[in-house]
Structure 1
Amino acid sequence: MLVEKSTHPGWLSNAYLLAVEGGPAVFVDSGADVAPLIEAVERWRTTPVALLRTHAHQDHVEHEDELVQRYSIPVLAEPGEWDWDGLQVEALATPGHSDDGLSFVVDDGLVATGDTLFRDAVGGGDVAAVRRSVMDVLLE
């Protein structure tokens, strides 16, 4: 699994490209500068198939329209499961920081949690809901 990360310096939010070299790729959120992600698409000769939205806060969707239009890809913002030529993704409802919070399990080895989890912290919001999302969904 190839991973390219971009961070917005003001919001400290991240956007990612997760890809199989020469195969399918997904974007995770779009709040940070997407230029490094677009460059990675070209460098790895990968084909974007979807944009995974962890939640709809502005710092996570800033460049969503740009990516959707450029690659003609859907925004996935509901729980579900997808498989694109071996790139497997499962979206799990993880409300708490926001009511629409999702975490994406990619190839059973990587989990993109958006703002459900921060480094050394949780993402704020409804503390009881965050606890349920972490303990009953992510750690199950």
Structure 2
Amino acid sequence: MKIDIYPLGLIQTNCYVLSNENGDALIIDPGDEGARLRKEIDKKRLKPVAILLTHAHFDHIGAVDYIRDHYSIPVYMHKEEADWLSNPNLNGSGKYADLPNVSNRAADHFIEEGTVSIGPFTFDVKHTPGHSPGSLSFVFDNDRLAIVGDTLFKESIGRTDLIGGDTQTLLNSIHSKLLSLDDDYAIYPGHGPFTFIEDEKDHNPFLNGF
């Protein structure tokens, strides 16, 4: 499977486009710049089958309806944040006077922890709350990678001072759901560079002694 990374918007949120050899694609966290993202997808002649959301903060959902409508594909997320897509006060865009309010229609499907199949893709969904109550991580065992949103970063962790955030819950999620993966799994976060489980065990100062 191929993974393309597009940092989008003012906060440079990583949008991931995962595609197979047939050109079928999953779009994860289309946070902004929908027209630019569409051009990149079309240039590669990919065929999106779904949008997955790691969580519903505004910088991860800004282009959801644009991409959903252009490709006529469904949106999947955790039910804990069902109201966040349409509510700027919950998704955080309402906090900033210099940013437009972000509002989308409701998700098409809610997903829980477990093995999920969407089109030709099968992967494990892990509920990893702490940064937000409905945060999800998507684990692709055959490719030894996990897309984790704002739960875990290279030598850092997600912030917990937003609505529904909690530091101990976040650390529990990282320890039980992510650090339990094999050391060679690549971790693709919502911002910044990718990393590996082994490197975070050895070098992440927020996890030392946990």
Contact 2:50 2:118 in 1 (8 A): no
The CA deviation string for residues 19-69 of structure 1, in whole angstroms up to 9 with x for no partner, is: 013332100101143445423433433221111100010000000001111
Q: Counterpart in 2 of 1:111?
A: 146
Which blocks of at least 5 consecutive residues in structure 1 are unaligned?
A: none
- Partners of 2:40 and 2:2 in 1: CA distance: 9
Deviation for aligned residue 1:137 = 1.1
Runs of 4+ in 1 over 3 A off after TM superposition: 34-37
- TM value normalised by structure 1: 0.87
| Alignment: residue pair count | 139
Cα pair distance change 1:25/1:115, threshold 3 Å: same
- Partners of 1:24 and 1:107 in 2: CA distance: 18
Q: Counterpart in 2 of 1:39?
A: 39
* Alignment map for 1:121-136 (pairs within 5 Å): 121-125=156-160, 126-136=166-176
Which residue among 95, 99, 120 is the counterpart of 2:129?
95
Cα pair distance change 1:102/1:55, threshold 3 Å: same
- TM value normalised by structure 2: 0.60
- Partners of 2:39 and 2:155 in 1: CA distance: 30
Contact 1:53 1:60 in 2 (8 A): yes
Look up the SS of the partner of 2:73 in the other structure.
coil
- Partners of 2:9 and 2:155 in 1: CA distance: 19
Cα pair distance change 1:25/1:102, threshold 3 Å: same
Which blocks of at least 5 consecutive residues in structure 2 are unaligned?
A: 78-110, 161-165, 181-210
Q: Which amino acid aligns with 1:94?
A: T
Q: Which amino acid aligns with 2:179?
A: L
The CA deviation string for residues 3-31 of structure 1, in whole angstroms up to 9 with x for no partner, is: 22111352131111110133321001011
* Greater share of strand: 1
The CA deviation string for residues 85-112 of structure 1, in whole angstroms up to 9 with x for no partner, is: 2x22222100000001000113542211
* Bigger Rg over Cα: 2
Question: Alignment RMSD, CA only?
Answer: 1.8
Cα pair distance change 1:123/1:98, threshold 3 Å: same
Deviation for aligned residue 1:83 = 4.5
